Amino acid sequence: MRHCIERKRDGHTLSATDWDGIIDGFMEGRIDEAQTAALFMACVWRGMSFEEAHALTDAMVRSGETVTFDRGKGIIVDKHSSGGVADIVSLVAVPLAAACGAHVAKLSGRALGHTGGTIDKLEAVPGFNAALSLDTFVRQVESIGCAIAAQTQALVPADKRIYNLRDRTGTVPAMGLIAASIVSKKIACGAHAIVYDVKTGPASFTPSPEQARELARWLVEISKGFGRKAIAFVSDMHQPLGRTVGTGIEMVEARDILRHSDVILSLSKDPERSRGVKLILKIVAALLDASEVTGGEELASKALADGTGYAKLVAMLEAQGASRGALEGMELDGKPLIVKASQGGYVHSIDVVHLGNVGRRLSQHDKLGGLFVIAQIGDRVEAGQPLARMYGTDKEHIRNLEASFKIGTGPVEPPPLIYDVVT
């Protein structure tokens, strides 16, 4: 190991055999944390080649079990987000793509820091079971076309330990290490094609579009190296993507987008303002394309409008222990606190990290607590106009939320929704 650390320190590349030995040795306790962290720090400073990241990914995949889907039964697709605030894409896109004929297999994580976790949002539906065995997961995808389950300990155990070590030793930010960590979990999950959504903005892991593009390229290249089809969107995270921030409240938003009822969200009255729905339709189109299902965004919009996407969400929840009644019984508190603009002008920026933290805190006290964000960057607002609504029992403790919305005098353009698509 010492030799590998020194070679990496001096800017050389390690072979696939080296990376195999490192991961095996680390998992079996022959290589200690200090040595592994020193090697990762050398990777942060010296960088890694695609070949090294591929070899590391491969070694990590082999540290645990893997899911196998029978290619003869059709193409299985997966969707991954690098993590954002109000990111309701998976909750809507997975059943919507399945309603259009795709087979979507998704293992998801929980909330991390200010970003939300898809599993926490689904678990807000009473009865929902995210802890599927890998067999049940595969059978559900084959039978109803989609499943979203929690990442199990059996898949890529090396990633869990390595991520924890990287987190403690300041060695998270190396593209090769990040890409190997993400792609290993996708490869182990068994999909034949993967659609990545890499967020960019202050609330994301890759704040600048250049960093996000670079990560997108690494994810696509490494996935292709494993014979998978891959595409990566670079999408915006300068403001919440959907309209709600929290846990269960985001599930309510996803339900209402699919149900097209818009009772709470008034989406259909102002579809142009729904950046979340626009991105969802693009991602569903990519999932369909990867699945060799024709129809793209038009088919996805149709499945959204005619309720088949919603029926598929209900089918997925029922297969995983919840019921239509439980989903439809999720009602927001009728007396939200209104966050108002203290001055007139244009919304110049939104503190997404703060909104993410507040949404999470509200939802920790109350399953359906959280925020409904009304104002978006570029909007003209008058003093006293509502910027957001706050739901939950803890809301009285959260003050000065209006300071998260920076209001200036001149008009500003909203940030682009999609910066790039990497294929």
206 binds ligand URA, rule: CB under 6 A: no
Active-site choice (8, 54, 80, 114): 80
Q: Give CA 315 to chain center in angstroms.
A: 22
Contact 395, 214 (CB under 8 A): no
Q: What mask, x for binding ligand URA by CB under 6 A, covers residues 151 to 170?
A: ------------x-------
Question: Considering the complex, what minimum distance in angstroms separates the CB of residue 255 from ligand URA?
Answer: 27
For residue 321, give both structure tokens. 């222990």
Pairing mode of beta strands 386-391, 370-373:
antiparallel
Is 108 a known active-site residue? no
Question: Considering the complex, what minimum distance in angstroms separates the CB of residue 368 from ligand URA?
Answer: 28
124 binds ligand URA, rule: CB under 6 A: no
182 binds ligand URA, rule: CB under 6 A: yes
Q: From CA 381, how far away is CA 378, in angstroms rounded?
A: 9
Q: Dihedral, CA atoms, 121, 125, 127, 133, nearest 10 degrees?
A: -30
- Which one, 50 or 163, has the nearer CB to ligand URA? 163
* Binding footprint of ligand URA, residue count (CB under 6 A): 6
Stretch that binds ligand URA, among 46-54, 99-107, 174-182, 260-268 (CB under 6 A): 174-182
- Give, as one character, the DSSP assignment of residue 46: H
371 binds ligand URA, rule: CB under 6 A: no
Active-site choice (58, 78, 87, 159): 159
Q: Is 1 exposed, middle or buried (0-12, 13-18, 19+ CB in 10 A)?
A: middle
181 binds ligand URA, rule: CB under 6 A: yes
Q: From CA 335, how far away is CA 332, in angstroms rounded?
A: 9
Q: Which residues pair with 233 in a beta bridge?
A: 197, 421
Question: Considering the complex, what minimum distance in angstroms separates the CB of residue 205 from ligand URA?
Answer: 6
- Which one, 181 or 363, has the nearer CB to ligand URA? 181
Q: From CA 129, how far away is CA 119, in angstroms rounded?
A: 9
Catalytic annotation, residues: 80, 159, 166, 181, 185
The residue ranges that bind ligand URA (CB under 6 A) are 163, 172, 178, 181-182, 205
